[in-house]
Amino acid sequence: MSFNKFERKHAEGFYTEKDLEAIYTMQDGQCYFCGEKLGSYGSKGAYQIDHLEPISKGGTNWPGNLALTCSLCNNRKHSNATSALWSKLKKEKGVEWVKARVSNNRKNTPQKTKLTKVRKNERRQSLDMLGRELEAAIIRNIIKYGFSPPEEIYVSVEHNSYYMDINFNNSAISIAAPTQKMLNSWRAEAFDMLAVALLRVEYVSGYLGNV
């Protein structure tokens, strides 16, 4: 499946369709805020996806930061903090009503935390795989272009909201952060391009010589 629509630009993390379905079930098909019944899961316009901590304020795309809402509550909250909408609902429905809603939502926190852990592990595994493939590509291209093999090869890959940082021994390059879908679909050509770029940086910096 495509992850693209589930991975907002410049926000850490990602989620999947399965995560949304799980959250829908946790919420008993009700709006996270007002408790009104949402549409049937999978039907068009059945719900809105809300980032509890807005992306504009540093929120992430991990499942633990997501809630499914009706369109009215999603529009009322907009890009504000969750507390802003709860304050409005307190005035409209009363303090005890809001306390009950918050308590009801809180019971889902452990399950959403587990979903987040699964996605973070998936991301980490993808980066580790990328590191191994990149190390193999570096070795291939050292031989191909006649560089002197270094005594050891150290490769690490880190991914954040904006960039993916790739380190090779004494050198590093940064590229625009790819989506999870892209990470899962990289081919040998992509690894070779990155390997050559890293080798050039290492060579120009004087850390790598020719045979």
Range of the domain at 135: 122-204
Average pLDDT over the chain, rounded to an integer: 90
Q: What's the total number of domains in the chain?
A: 2
Residue 210 lies in a domain: no
What's the rounded Cα separation, in Å, for the pair 123 and 179?
10
Mean pLDDT calculated for residue range 5-33: 87
Asked whether the predicted pLDDT for residue 39 surpasses 60, the reply is yes
Cα atoms in the 13 Å half-sphere on the side-chain side of 46: 13
Tell me if residue 28 falls in helix, strand or coil: coil
User: Which of 55, 74, 107 is the C-terminal boundary of a domain?
Assistant: 107
pLDDT at 2 over 60: no
Residues 47 and 140 in one domain: no
Would residue 113 count as lying in a domain? no
Is residue 119 predicted with pLDDT exceeding 70?
yes
- Is position 142 within any domain? yes
Q: Are residues 19 and 62 in the same domain?
A: yes
Q: Which parts of 27-108 fold into alpha helices (H)?
A: 71-77, 82-93, 95-106
Q: Which residues contact 139 (CB under 8 A, 6 or more apart)?
A: 149, 153
- pLDDT of residue 97 exceeding 80, the answer is yes
Nearest to 184 by CA among 126, 103, 110: 126
Q: Which of 75, 107, 139 delimits the end of a domain? A: 107
Last residue in a domain, options 74, 107, 140:
107
114: in domain: no
The CATH number for 98's domain is 1.10.30
Rounded CA separation 11/39 (Å): 28
Looking at the structure, tell me whether residues 66 and 126 fall in a common domain: no
pLDDT tens readout for residues 146-204: 888 888 899 999 988 788 999 999 888 999 888 888 888 888 899 999 999 999 988 88
Mean pLDDT score, 107-129: 96
In whole angstroms, what is the distance from residue 60 CA to residue 10 CA? 9
pLDDT at 24: 97
15 and 87 assigned to the same domain: yes
